[in-house]
Amino acid sequence: MSGPGALILLVEDEPQMRRFLRVSLEGSGYRYLEAATGQEGLSLAAQHRPDVLLLDLGLPDMDGLEVVSRLREWSQIPVIVISARGQESDKVDALDAGANDYLTKPFGTRELLARVRVALRHANPEAGEQPVFTLGRWRVDLAKRQVFVEDQEVHLTPLEYSLFTTLIRHAGKVVTHRQLLKEVWGGAAGAQPLYLRVYMTQLRHKLEEEPSRPRYLKTEPGVGYRLFLED
Amino acid sequence: MSGPGALILLVEDEPQMRRFLRVSLEGSGYRYLEAATGQEGLSLAAQHRPDVLLLDLGLPDMDGLEVVSRLREWSQIPVIVISARGQESDKVDALDAGANDYLTKPFGTRELLARVRVALRHANPEAGEQPVFTLGRWRVDLAKRQVFVEDQEVHLTPLEYSLFTTLIRHAGKVVTHRQLLKEVWGGAAGAQPLYLRVYMTQLRHKLEEEPSRPRYLKTEPGVGYRLFLED
DNA sequence: CTCCTTCCTAACACTTTCTTAACGCGCCTT
DNA sequence: AAGGCGCGTTAAGAAAGTGTTAGGAAGGAG
């Protein structure tokens, strides 16, 4: 997760500051977690693997620097330190302990958010493994929006692709007619079960070896369709 | 190269500041390069691939922000901006343009060095970035903004070039209409899908052998466009 | 100011995709 | 065995999306 919806963990003991940052971060579309102590912060970081950690140095239970170095024992999560201490030696120590950035209070919200964006940008230079779905002779590269059968690319129209990936998302499970129509054609009205039959036929012709006796794109009579995982 | 011996490029027009930083950096064991203008800085960056770039925003020949975004067209080299301007909006703009850090003059040497160490620590292990992209008969020098077909230079207008390099950045993947309009025309409103059709036509005429049956600049109907990598 | 480049816009031809209808087949019920 | 039902299949028209061209507006350079 790198764009909006990224998870930010704030470790800060001052309630007023927490409330302020919470509003700023949630208002910018980030998911948000908070801890009031270093112990709690480390434990939450381990549990939830946030995308960025905002760390106040002045914590009651342990030194902020220790939080950073403990975290760095197992994680490369970007850490932005926010601190009232503006001494150069404080900054140097924090940065050398493993922090990625150091912001002195008071600071502007917009600068903080910009630095969070930098951290997120840096966090995954496409580190996230590309989502590729494979099944039998099929390979689907969700990122590139490409479908291969026996390493031969097959072109799918937008609706075909949408229908197919919807089944992939629910791979193995039955997806009802209603659910498919909703997810592929959008909640709007007008979508008829007939569409499903037409497009399932087309998908089978493009993807199945024997379209008339499908191996993976199975019909569940009276209920819906299912992408069969077993062989 | 990431530890001592790393190469630092300083882009700064003020001789006094240059001398000062040179002493600090060389004294810390870094290899050192300098440029007095944005143009020279970009060119040196392309030639020598420094591990970190220190950039003064107040350059005589071009805006510092433009240096960053030009650089980001082909390189992920960490950029630390050093500037006399301390306004929050300056910081936000620079960071959003692609800078990794922002330091306001005057600053302490030790803090600068600590931030350089952070940048180096972060340095991309995946050094595979090339300022030159080649595909079939095409060669694109991202640093110099030059495009060649069969070693013959082809002139692209700014928008054509931007559209082309956007597709290159996402080479192989489908780029949606929305995304292209956002990245090429800027988030602002008014951008219409019609623009894409017009400029794709022009690109194809300038770059493709058979513009009406493109080999690389493919359309994904209803979705977007894709720079096709396979043959 | 004029020339030149680049960008935006509109019109029209064309292609792909979507929707719709008709028909065939097998299964179950009566 | 006949009829109803659900699903698969096919094809054709409608709709949506795309390619192409050209001309005028806007902006910058000399």
Q: Per-residue pLDDT tens for A131-174?
A: 889 998 999 999 899 999 999 999 999 999 999 999 999 999 99
Q: Per-residue pLDDT tens for B181-222?
A: 999 998 666 778 899 999 999 999 999 999 999 999 999 999
- DSSP labels, A24-55: HHHHTT-EEEEESSHHHHHHHHHHH--SEEEE
Bridge partners, residue A9, by sequence: A33, A53
> Does this model's pTM top 0.75?
yes
Distances in whole angstroms, Cα of residue A8 to Cα of each of A21, A78, B92: 11, 10, 19
CA closest to B222 among chain A residues? A158
Chain B residues whose beta carbon lies within 8 Å of the beta carbon of residue A156: none
* CB-to-strand C contacts below 7 angstroms: A 155, 157-160, 185, 190, 192, 194-195, 198-199; B 155, 157-160, 185, 190, 192, 194-195, 198, 221-222
- DSSP labels, A128-190: SPP-EEEETTEEEETTTTEEEETTEEE---HHHHHHHHHHHHTTTSEEEHHHHHHHHH-SSS-
**Would you say residue B223 has pLDDT above 90?**
yes
Does the distance separating the beta carbons of A125 and B124 come in below 8 Å? yes
Question: Does residue B115 or residue B64 have the better pLDDT?
Answer: B115
CA closest to A77 among chain B residues? B122
**Would you say residue B2 has pLDDT above 70?**
no
Q: What interhelical angle do A158-169 and A177-185 show, nearest 10? A: 130
A212 touches strand D (CB under 7 A): yes
Q: What is residue B218's three-state secondary structure?
A: strand
Q: Per-residue pLDDT tens for A69-118?
A: 999 988 999 999 999 988 999 999 999 999 999 999 899 999 999 999 99
Which of B95, B114, B230 faces A118 most closely, judged by CB atoms? Answer: B95
| Cβ contacts of B101 within 8 Å, gap of 6 or more | A101, A118, B78, B79, B80, B81, B115, B118, B119
Interface probe for A, chosen from B93, B95, B124 (most Cβ of A below 10 Å), is B95
Asked if B229 reaches chain A (Cβ–Cβ under 8 Å), the answer is: no
Chain B residues whose beta carbon lies within 8 Å of the beta carbon of residue A91: 111, 114
Which of A122, A146, A153 faces B122 most closely, judged by CB atoms? Answer: A122
Angstrom distance (rounded) from CA B184 to CA B58: 26
Asked if A157 reaches chain B (Cβ–Cβ under 8 Å), the answer is: yes
Mean pLDDT across B172-183: 93
| Cβ contacts of A142 within 8 Å, gap of 6 or more | A130, A131, A132, A133, A165
Check if the beta carbon of residue A177 is closer than 8 Å to that of residue A185: no
Q: Parallel, antiparallel, or unpaired: how do β-strands B101-104 and A31-35 relate?
A: unpaired
Query: What's residue A142's pLDDT?
Result: 92
**C-alpha closest to that of B101 among B57, B66, B131:** B57
